Amino acid sequence: MQAVINIKGLTKTYAGGFDALKNVSLSINKSEIFALLGPNGAGKTTLINIVCGITRLTQGEVLVDGHDIVSDFRLTRAKIGLVPQEMPTESFETVWNTCRFSRGLFGKGASPEHLEKVLKSLSLWDRKDTKSMELSGGMKRRVLIAKALAHEPEILFLDEPTAGVDVELRQDMWNVVKSLRKEGVTVILTTHYIEEAEQLADRVGVINNGEIILVEDKKKLMREMGKKQLMLNLYEELDDVPVQLSNYDLELSRNRRRLVYTYDTKGEHTGITDLINDLRRSGIRFNDLQTTQSSLEDIFVDLVKKT
């Protein structure tokens, strides 16, 4: 995979002495959707702002498509689009004018066709002559995405793009992100909605206290770090997990009517057949069963707790 962003030993210490990023190294591949997850204050926005040129780095190197973000800032910034976490909009400007401004600012000549395409893809076309101040929060968020796409960036940073938007809009945005990936755009996404990363991301990075603690293919991560559980609804209440079943990773629910068996999906044997046989031998009957798999959110919470 060709890396489109290469971050080496990146450190950011703010004027007050706070270390926002500590020796961060990270590669983002071309045309992938990379989800950067982390709790508040982990360093996600600082990292994005440095790559985009808003914040200065203290130490380290950031290359965008092989170009240094400091010495070749014109080349690197022209390739990047940013949708910030907050919703700053030019309140008195129309949607069309603010998008046209963004395109020009990033060095591109007028292209009404491209702006029309972007606005239509974000369901903003019929609001193109509306002032930003007259739009709802969700619509403003769409305008910010449209502005970021106005100059046809090769790399798009989405800093919590769906914070505070309704479910329908979130789905729309996910579709936009997916179609951008198809067009070859690299998308770096930070989000508090882990479900969003689960839905969209090819790879996941977890950052905490200014350090990257994990970068992994999403599917591999969920397979390797995810747990699977088998839940058995019992006919009769149990006082405790019977001694003869102590070899299994079993838990009895509070109402004593459900046994929860946690097993390893990577193992050669899940132990489910043996467990069911042993339950029968022990005279424990059940009337229903179901399995669940831990979400990316569970994995994320576990990882952050450990650091």
Partner 1 sequence: MNFHAVKAIYRYEMARMFRTVVQSIVAPVLSTSLYFVIFGSAIGSRITEIDGVSYGSFIVPGLIMLSIMTESISNSSFAIYFPKFTGTIFEVLSAPVSYGEVLLGYVGAAATKSVIIGTIILGTASFFVDLEIAHPVIMVAFLLLTCVSFCLFGFLLGIWADGWEKLTIVPILVIMPLTFLGGTFYSISMLPPVWQTISLFNPVVYLISGFRWSFYENADVSVFLSLGMAVAFLIACLAIVRWVFKTGYKLRT
Asked if 239 and 226 count as a contact pair (C-beta separation under 8 A), the reply is: no
Q: Strand, helix or coil at 199?
A: helix
- Cβ nearer to partner 1, comparing 46 with 232: 46
CB of 80 to partner 1, least distance (A): 7
CB of 219 to partner 1, least distance (A): 32
CB of 154 to partner 1, least distance (A): 13
67-68, strands of its sheet edge to edge: 19-29, 3-13, 59-64, 67-68
CB of 15 to partner 1, least distance (A): 7
Q: Strand, helix or coil at 214?
A: strand
Q: Which residue is associated with the tokens 């200014």?
A: 210
CB of 112 to partner 1, least distance (A): 15
- Cβ nearer to partner 1, comparing 115 with 303: 115
- Cβ nearer to partner 1, comparing 153 with 205: 153
Rounded Cα–Cα distance for residues 124 and 140 (Å):
10
- Cβ nearer to partner 1, comparing 1 with 105: 105
HEC sequence for 135-190 = CCHHHHHHHHHHHHHCCCCCEEEEECCCCCCCHHHHHHHHHHHHHHHHCCCEEEEE
Phi, psi values for residue 269, rounded to 5°: -120, 130
Rounded Cα–Cα distance for residues 161 and 122 (Å):
13
CB of 250 to partner 1, least distance (A): 53
CB of 47 to partner 1, least distance (A): 13
CB of 153 to partner 1, least distance (A): 11
Rounded Cα–Cα distance for residues 95 and 129 (Å):
6
Q: Which residue is associated with the tokens 């930003």?
A: 132
- Cβ nearer to partner 1, comparing 147 with 170: 147
- Catalog residues that contact partner 1 under the rule CB under 8 A: 14-15, 52-56, 73-78, 80, 82, 84, 86, 88-93, 97, 100-109, 147
- Cβ nearer to partner 1, comparing 18 with 235: 18
Rounded Cα–Cα distance for residues 279 and 297 (Å):
32
- Cβ nearer to partner 1, comparing 90 with 297: 90
Rounded Cα–Cα distance for residues 165 and 85 (Å):
12
Taking the CB of residue 69, how many other CB atoms lie within 10 A of it? 21
- Cβ nearer to partner 1, comparing 189 with 221: 189
Q: Strand, helix or coil at 8?
A: strand
